[in-house]
Structure 1
Amino acid sequence: MAEPATAEAADPDLIRRSCQEPEVFAMLFDRHAPALHRYAARRLGADAAEDVVSETFLAAFEHRHRYQPGQDDARPWLYGIASNVIGKRRRRELARYRAYARGGLDPAEIGGGLVEDGVATLAVNQPLVAALARLRTGDRDALLLVAWVGLTYEEVAVALDIPVGTVRSRLNRARRKVRQALEGTDHG
């Protein structure tokens, strides 16, 4: 008789077990869906975040047999899938950033997130989001996975299926372009 899956089980164990016991995959969803939802909401808005999370976990479930067992954490794998799903909605993301740059609302603030001082939001965040909108897709993905999700360079490499050196160069380029865009901004 198979031992019951527990909330403390490691991600690779849950994924492996879900191949024989599909219901075990729900624990992976419970563990990672809230953070994925926050990330997707920041990038596309709360309305689209539900769909992104659903599509991400559907794809993860369908391809769980491809999960690399040497990865101790499923986050890079899941965020890689989410990045691909978001990529299909790229125009919506760019329109969101451009609207934000005009109106001054931080994507994290929309839908019940943190609310900062309005002056600081307008003075700092508008130029930042305008700069994000001008980044290449791969550069923006790498930057946001590090800045918003907190993935390491190695985890971003796994998520985006690129070498770590490419992550470094994308981050360097993205940071340089964002810094250049913000140089003329008065921060207070």
Structure 2
Amino acid sequence: MTLLRGNGAAGARATDASGASDGSVIERSWEIPDAFAVIFDRYADDIHRYIARRLGSDTADDLMAETFEIAFKRRRRYDLAHPHARPWLYGIATNLIRRHRRDEARRLRALARVASLSTGTEHDGPEDGVAERLSADAPLAGALAGLPTRYRDVLLVIAWGELDYEEAARALRVPVGTVRSRLHRARTRLRTALAGPDRTAPTAPEKETDHG
């Protein structure tokens, strides 16, 4: 369903017209700070969209800016063995979102109420279209609100951030096995809450071989 389906655009900008990888751009920014603007240009929209889906566009404006401010300050600590910076940036953004976990839960419950009262109608305004995506399945928003933060983070960084399991593990700084376990538990809890078929299977490719 739309809520847990990726936008298809993420992950395609790890190089620019010059062919420079994210890692090489970040390394260059160590001596030429302005070079870091390339990373912002590549991923700002994706990070903003992810945060807005979870917390709303007003909060997303501030947290997206804070994500890149933190990334810039930490750029010398970036592991250059990783050519793609997306998991690193999503990890920073997710850590910032955790500070607002109560706001996120309240937002999801409010969207569930709006969706349940307005199924089949058009939505305009502060929900930024999220209520439209939830209107066909209002209980899902409430079920997401009831997930522990650690489970919701894994589920949504994969579903909305379009990270695969290895990337999610890197973003959240947990083992791949923990990603698999938390995702399984999140899906199980959602199935129980919805008392219906599993509609939350991630579309991200499963690259890891770790079964821990």
Q: TM-score range by the shorter chain?
A: 0.7 to 0.9
TM-score (norm 1): 0.86
Give the letter aligned to residue 17 of structure 1: R
RCO comparison, higher one (Cα < 8 Å, 6+): 2
Instruction: Write out the 4+ residue segments of structure 1 that deviate beyond 3 Å after TM superposition.
Output: 5-8, 112-116
What is the aligned partner in structure 2 of residue 103 from structure 1? 114
The counterpart of 2:52, out of the listed 38, 41, 64, is 41
TM-score (norm 2): 0.76
Identity, in percent, stands at 50
Find the residue that maps to 1:146 and give its secondary structure: helix
Give the letter aligned to residue 50 of structure 1: D
- Number of aligned residues: 175
What is the aligned partner in structure 1 of residue 193 from structure 2? 181
Find the residue that maps to 1:154 and give its secondary structure: helix
Find the residue that maps to 2:160 and give its secondary structure: helix
Contact 1:12 1:73 in 2 (8 A): yes
Q: CA RMSD in A?
A: 2.3
Question: Which runs of 5 or more residues in structure 2 are unaligned?
Answer: 1-15, 200-212
The CA distance in 2 between the partners of 1:141 and 1:42, in whole Å, is 12
Contact 1:77 1:159 in 2 (8 A): yes
Contact 1:7 1:27 in 2 (8 A): no
Contact 1:81 1:159 in 2 (8 A): yes
Question: Which runs of 5 or more residues in structure 1 are unaligned?
Answer: none
Q: Deviations over 1:130-174 (max 9, x none)?
A: 111111111100000111111011000000000000000000000
The CA distance in 2 between the partners of 1:113 and 1:170, in whole Å, is 24
The structure with more helix, counted as a fraction of residues: 1
The CA distance in 1 between the partners of 2:18 and 2:147, in whole Å, is 39
Give the letter aligned to residue 188 of structure 2: R
Give the letter aligned to residue 127 of structure 2: I
